[in-house]
Amino acid sequence: MDKINDKLERARKLLEGDDLSLAELAGAVGLSASHLQRRFRAQFGLSPAEYSAQRKLELLKAALREGDDISGALYDAGYGSPSRVYEGGAVKLGMTPARYRAGGAGEAIRWSVIDTALGRALVAATERGICMVEVVASSGENAELEAKLRTEFPNANLERVDAGRDEFLAPRVRAVADALAGKRTQVPVDLLGTAFQKRVWDALMKIPAGQTRSYAEVAAGLGEPRATRAVASACAHNRIAVIVPCHRVIRGDGSLGGYRWGLPLKDRLLQREHAGRGNAA
């Protein structure tokens, strides 16, 4: 086992320094390509290709934040062309490199603060879907909620709109309010995260209301039985309360585990969904 782990760690370090194909990487560490693919994903939560893509993206982000020339940053990070970073592939920047370097300048995000069945909520959306739902149990300060939205895109075009007065945002706000009230509704989302985080969040949205999964069960369902901690981390980084139902993931012993919006709210949501399932039956 130790020898396998040593080979996996060597493979990871090779990916840190060079852009190798799966076959080249497997040959370098003395494993078959299929065995390396399976064991690498189990160990690190990503395939070698996804790991390499994530590494390049992180290098690019760091260079752009430092103010480096876009063409030079792309070349240094290992991208052959600008389109490769935000078109296709497993890991995406979500916007052009120029906009990311500018702190999201040019990215339009409309948002509103509303009162819901669960308390005060900030609802924000890009043109692709809801990108944040932040909930506070009390009335809360709107400035505090807005500050959380600005963390990801400090220079984005953040436009606050009154609920119901924007043809684009209004139906999305209503859908979120319905979801927070426990009603069944469809809410388009814009998931902003790493490849692995998106896989976790997609899996969470497939857990039926009234049911729960353990962190280990979610990891196993992704084909990553050793990625329990990575699943818990992805849940902790979920920005879309209730819509992406990380509250349905609990510890293996049945205890609640963690929750970004507080354990009382997690318990309340689970009890409400369990009661609703019983009534439906």
DSSP structure class, residue 220: H
Q: How far apart are CA 31 and CA 7, in angstroms?
A: 8
Instruction: Classify residue 248 by its DSSP letter.
Output: G
Annotated catalytic residue, options 8, 242, 244, 246? 246
Tokens of 157: 């075009």
108-116 and 157-160 beta bridge pairing: parallel
Q: Is 131 a catalytic residue?
A: no
**Closest C-alpha among 218, 202, 198, 219 to residue 42:** 219
Name every residue whose Cβ is closer than 8 Å to that of residue 150 and which is 6 or more positions away in sequence: 156, 158
Taking a C-beta distance cutoff of 8 angstroms, is the pair 124, 131 a contact? Answer: yes
Q: What secondary structure, in 3-state letters, does 103-140 show?
A: CCCCCEEEEEEEEECCEEEEEEEECCEEEEEEEECCCC
Task: Measure the CA dihedral 36/42/43/48, to 10°.
Answer: 50
Q: Torsions phi, psi of 158, nearest 5?
A: -90, 115
Residues assigned a catalytic role: 246
